[in-house]
Amino acid sequence: MGGHGQPLLQVSGLRRRFGEHEVLHGLTFDVRAGQAVAVVGPNGSGKSTLLQCVMGIQPPDSGSVTLRGAPLVESDPAVRAELAAVDDSVDFFPDLSVAEHLGLLAAVHDVPDADAVVRALLEEVGLTEQRNQLPGTLSSGQRRRLALASAFVRPRSLLLLDEPEQRLDGQGVDWLIGRLLDEKAAGGAVLFASHHAGLIDAVADARCEPGRQSG
């Protein structure tokens, strides 16, 4: 894949405060194609805030986020086509089955051979048996697997994940590690917040600690 080693995502001087409390103090880092950066630090240190600023869900007070050198504007379809994100705000249509969710995303993103892709992904995340269930009837770990599958079913060059290990069992974390290593090998970039030392050690090329930066 072209562009390997070149910054895909550039975060520069990012600041974010809530009232008197400054959470991001001028954060600067890059994520390159084929690279994973782990966002680490204690509860409340700004990991989700950082990811939400990158996703465009929250506006930073200052600083910039660029994708391939251009400002990352979430409302731009070309930008949205490159980003796949999973965080706690992931929601499902209550009346679409597991397989229908993935099929819909595949269709929206023009995934070739969508049926086969969805079938393979369902098998991979262990939801084949639940394929016709509605999201509300899934276990919490199964819902997490569906959220992750929703990101993996679509084309993307940057994956943004907030604690993707949440609610996964040991086998699920092992699967996630393999998936993220495959993502890097295919030239994808990954920015993920995590508290899971095993996942971070296995996948991350670099770490970013929002709570330890000072402006």
Ligand X SMILES: Nc1ncnc2c1ncn2[C@@H]1O[C@H](COP(=O)(O)OP(=O)(O)OP(=O)(O)O)[C@@H](O)[C@H]1O
The C-alpha angle 55, 116, 103, rounded to 5 degrees, equals: 45
Q: Does 48 bind Mg ion (CB under 5 A)?
A: yes
Output the smallest distance, CB 210 to ligand X, in A: 7
Q: Mask: binding to Mg ion, 5-44, rule CB under 5 A, as x and -?
A: ----------------------------------------
In contact, 107 and 114? CB cutoff 8 Å = yes
**Cβ nearer to ligand X, comparing 54 with 105:** 54
Output the smallest distance, CB 213 to ligand X, in A: 13
Pick the binder of ligand X from 35, 49, 150, 194 (CB under 6 A).
Answer: 49
**Cβ nearer to ligand X, comparing 45 with 157:** 45
**Residue 43, binding choice from ligand X, Mg ion, none, Cβ under 5 to 8 Å by partner class:** ligand X
Token pair belonging to 80:
């949205």
**Cβ nearer to ligand X, comparing 82 with 209:** 209
Pick the binder of ligand X from 2, 20, 43, 197 (CB under 6 A).
Answer: 43
**Cβ nearer to ligand X, comparing 47 with 143:** 47
Q: Does 35 bind ligand X (CB under 6 A)?
A: no
d(CA 186, CA 1): 7
d(CA 122, CA 180): 17
d(CA 49, CA 179): 25
Q: Give, in order, the Cα–Cα distances in Å from 42 to each of 22, 166, 194, 210.
A: 16, 15, 10, 10
Nearest by Cα to 125 from 73, 169, 158: 169
Nearest by Cα to 130 from 115, 142, 148, 121: 142
Q: Mask: binding to Mg ion, 125-164, rule CB under 5 A, as x and -?
A: ----------------------------------------
Token pair belonging to 21:
């409390």
In contact, 115 and 148? CB cutoff 8 Å = no
Pick the binder of ligand X from 44, 155, 178, 198 (CB under 6 A).
Answer: 44
Give contact residues for ligand X (rule: CB under 6 A): 18, 23, 41, 43-49
